[in-house]
Homo-oligomer: A and B are copies of this chain.
């Protein structure tokens, strides 16, 4: 059965970073501090890194590997795709080069005029939708063919899905840092612990993995 999954980075003080976002630094200034241990994993290094075959192999890597397993479709917000940074470039194809790491249909939520689909190398096709998130989710679920649908982010999109009660599994990677700035993950979210089972685990890096699953 298709499950709706999401992974988010947060600091100890509950910030998901978007401070100082710019085209040159699309994820914001603190993003590196939040994601350092995750990027260092073998799974992420093999997919994105310069150090193919190396990288950490502990608890963080187990979660990183699971992140890529069993996903049949992806949903992301316009900002994560880059439409906010490059609103006037009809040829913008995202941040991930010619071969994005998704390998599935990717539904990009947008409030602007829909663009035609963009097929990429490696099985990724970007689709642009401006319907209600429930409708886009239904389409993504169909496309996933029994595999899971992942809601990739950014945090605004993630919070929309959480507030609508649409997420079956939320995986938080809480980095052992205090940011003191950024976007608050938790504001006005439902109490997920009342509807989902909470499990917690600490990795060798000190990263706290918190999973809410129903």
Tell me the A residues contacting B by CB distance below 8 Å: 12-14, 172, 176-180, 185-186, 189-194, 198-202, 206-208, 210
Please, which residues of chain B bring their CB within 8 A of the CB of A176?
193, 198-200, 210
Q: Residue A186 contacts which of B14, B189, B191, B207 (CB distance < 8 angstroms)? A: B14
CB pair B178–A192 under 8 Å, yes or no, is: yes
Docked complex Cα distance between A176 and B207 (Å): 15
Query: Using Cβ atoms and an 8 Å threshold, which residues of chain B touch A192?
Result: 178
Cα separation A201 to B180 with both chains bound (whole Å): 22
Q: Do B206 and A208 have beta carbons less than 8 Å apart?
A: no
| 9 A-B interface contacts by CB (under 8 A) | A12-B198, A13-B14, A14-B186, A176-B200, A180-B189, A180-B191, A198-B206, A200-B208, A202-B202
